[in-house]
């Protein structure tokens, strides 16, 4: 995605220069929440966020030499440029979310207003970032993107907020990882479109209240439960994204195959969709792997047998379970007799971060009915046992308890 620095002056130059002087001359400027400000030579805007140009097909040459975001892998850039839907009408699935966002966008346009703040939550790869960009595109406004962990200090956030233009979308990914002190600035910014900044300490303290342009905050998270309620309550629109159905995934695969100009027959498309764990990002990733395999080992056409061969090589099975998914299930079943077992215990056996398991592994295993989440921990279901061909000790015990004379 193309990125560029701000083109215009900040909307409130007096504050910005006051802030800049106070911070750069004596370095003693302090944000309200007691955060020391950055002494970076870069303007604060560049610290935590990047303005993106939705109309440009490829990254521009460092416009004005600033605004460079984190570089992404080649495939991710390709994905963002080519495969990501740009308009609401192109967005597949999530019917209710799309409909209610469509209404909010149309209403805001009619009023000449910004869309209400939007919180999108759900497992990775379901289209949260995509929707944030679509909102900006449909509203015909700019988008500035950042993520919770990138905003380390109050100053990082203030730098971005004071540079937002009227109606802009301000997208914060992983909003549950926003530091608490930064989050507190956001409250008045999203509610009153104003921020108070305090310079210096004690008797020298001076406070400036700065008005901001009206903007739309779009927050995305895989962990809605970790967002504090004061922040969550400030989002007028809160929508959960769910896993995609087979039919929707087939549409995603067909659309992406057409964009990548890869021939795929109907059975090949279904086979990829079936193994995508309900997730468009995985569908696109698998599609690329199968494309490579088809081009190198076959005539370049994606069919069912080609997909099966290619994905066997990738360690992705018929249900889309990866090696890590299967290890997770085996750990619960073999090490912990089917559970219930706490997540930390599973993570310790697998030598994985608990966050990885919560974000990447568990949601689909829960959705597909392989595990249950109980107050005592995770339990493997009968489906998981029979899927792995392992005996279900607790089910046998249950059966035995019904037989007379066995207890
Ligand atoms: N509704 C959709 N229709 C077609 N393709 C989609 C759709 N949603 C997502 N995709 C594809 O899946 C990819 C991943 O989507 P996106 O980056 O928006 O997910 P995300 O929810 O932001 O994930 P994360 O939580 O990891 O940030 C996109 O680049 C896009 O190509
Ligand atoms: Mg995202």
Residue 407 has pLDDT above 50, yes or no: no
The strand pair at 194-199 and 371-374 is best described as unpaired
> Could you tell me how far CA 244 lies from the centroid of its own chain?
16
Has residue 238 got a pLDDT over 50? Answer: yes
Q: Which of 70, 73, 84, 118 to mutate to test the pocket of ligand 1 (most atoms within 8 A of CB)?
A: 84
Pairing of strands 169-173, 143-147: parallel
Q: Is 222 a catalytic residue?
A: yes
CB 145, CB 175: distance < 8 Å: no
Closest to 72 (Cα-Cα) out of 52, 100, 92, 45:
52
**Per-residue pLDDT band at 402 (split at 50, 70, 90):** low
- 117 three-class SS: coil
Give one DSSP letter per residue of 139-205, joined into a string: HT--EEEEEGGG--SHHHHHHHHTTPPTT-EEEEETGGGS-HHHHHHHHHHHHHSEEEEEESSGGG-
Average pLDDT over residues 318-328: 93
Per-residue pLDDT tens over the stretch 355-396 = 999 999 999 999 999 999 999 999 999 999 999 999 887 766
Residue nearest to atom 9 of ligand 1 (CA): 127
Q: For residue range 8-17, what is the model confidence (pLDDT) as tens digits?
A: 333 333 333 3
Tokens 């494309």 correspond to what residue? 291
Confidence of residue 52 (pLDDT cuts 50, 70, 90): confident
Q: Across the chain, which distance is largest between two alpha carbons, in Å?
A: 87
Task: List, as one string, the DSSP characters of 259-305.
Answer: HHT--B-HHHHHHHHHTSTT-HHHHHHHHHHHHHHHHHHSSS-B-HH
Q: Ligand 2 center to residue 212 CA distance, Å?
A: 26
Set out the domains of the chain in order of their start, with CATH numbers: 3-240 (3.40.50.300), 246-314 (1.10.8.60), 323-402 (1.10.10.10)
Place of tokens 């971005």: 160
Residue 360 is predicted with a pLDDT of: 92
CA dist 236 and 190 (Å) reads: 11
Q: Which atom of ligand 1 is nearest to the CA of 127?
A: 18
- What letter would DSSP give residue 390? -
Please give the average per-residue pLDDT across 249-267, as a whole number.
Answer: 96
Question: Does 92 contact ligand 1 (Cβ within 6 A)?
Answer: yes
The whole-number pLDDT of residue 148 equals 96
Token digits of residue 214: 């009206």
**How many Cβ atoms sit within 10 Å of the Cβ of residue 14?**
10
Is the Cβ atom of 83 under 6 angstroms away from ligand 1? Answer: yes
For residue 26, what pLDDT is reported?
Answer: 33
Helices (H), 10-140: 13-26, 45-48, 74-78, 95-111, 128-139
Decide if pLDDT at 47 tops 90. Answer: no
Place of tokens 């392989």: 370
Distance from the alpha carbon of residue 225 to the mean position of ligand 2, in angstroms: 17
307 in catalytic set: no
CA of 91 to the centre of ligand 1 (A): 10
pTM of the model: 0.81
Considering the candidates 6, 130, 146, 222, report the single residue annotated as catalytic. Answer: 222
- Cis, bond preceding 340 (omega within 30 deg of 0): yes
**What average pLDDT does this structure show over 135-139?**
97
Mean pLDDT of 294-306: 96
| Chain segment 94-106, per-residue pLDDT in tens | 999 999 999 999 9
Q: What is the pLDDT of residues 165-223, one digit of tens each?
A: 999 999 999 999 999 999 999 999 999 999 988 777 788 888 888 899 999 999 999 99
Average pLDDT, whole number, for the chain?
83
């Amino acid at each position: 995605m193309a990125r560029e620095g701000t083109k215009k002056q900040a909307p409130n130059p007096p504050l910005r220069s006051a802030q800049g002087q106070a911070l750069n001359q004596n370095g003693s400027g302090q944000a309200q929440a007691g955060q020391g400000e950055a002494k970076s030579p870069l303007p604060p805007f560049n610290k935590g966020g990047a303005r993106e140009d939705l109309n440009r097909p490829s990254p521009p040459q460092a416009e004005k030499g600033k605004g460079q975001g984190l570089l992404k892998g080649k495939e991710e850039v390709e994905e963002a440029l080519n495969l990501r839907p740009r308009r609401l009408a192109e967005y597949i699935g999530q019917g209710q979310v799309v409909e209610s966002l469509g209404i909010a966008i149309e209403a805001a346009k009619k009023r000449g207003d910004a869309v209400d703040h939007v919180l999108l939550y759900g497992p990775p790869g379901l289209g949260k970032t995509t929707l944030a960009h679509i909102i900006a595109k449909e509203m015909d406004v700019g988008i500035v993107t950042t993520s919770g962990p990138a905003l380390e200090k109050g100053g990082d956030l203030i730098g971005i907020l004071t540079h937002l233009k009227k109606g802009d979308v301000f997208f914060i990914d992983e909003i549950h990882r926003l530091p608490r002190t930064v989050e507190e600035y956001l409250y008045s910014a999203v509610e009153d479109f104003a921020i108070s900044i305090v310079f210096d300490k004690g008797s020298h303290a001076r406070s400036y209240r700065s008005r901001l342009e009206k903007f739309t905050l779009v927050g995305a998270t895989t962990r809605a439960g970790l967002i504090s309620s004061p922040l969550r309550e400030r989002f007028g629109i809160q929508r959960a994204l769910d896993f995609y159905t087979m039919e929707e995934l087939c549409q995603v695969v067909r659309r992406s195959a057409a964009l990548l100009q890869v021939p795929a027959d109907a059975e090949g498309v279904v086979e990829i969709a079936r193994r995508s764990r309900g997730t468009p990002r995985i569908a696109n990733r698998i599609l690329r792997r199968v494309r490579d395999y088809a081009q190198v080992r076959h005539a370049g056409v994606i069919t069912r047998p080609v997909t099966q061969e290619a994905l066997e090589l990738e360690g992705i099975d018929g249900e889309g379970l990866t090696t890590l998914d299967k290890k997770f299930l085996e750990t619960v079943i073999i090490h912990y007799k089917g559970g219930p077992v706490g997540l930390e215990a599973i993570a310790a056996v697998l030598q994985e971060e608990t966050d990885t398991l919560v974000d990447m592994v568990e949601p689909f295993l829960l959705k597909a009915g392989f595990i249950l989440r109980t107050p005592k921990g995770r339990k493997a279901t009968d489906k998981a046992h029979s899927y792995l061909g392992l005996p279900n000790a607790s089910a046998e015990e249950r059966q035995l308890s019904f037989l007379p004379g066995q207890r």
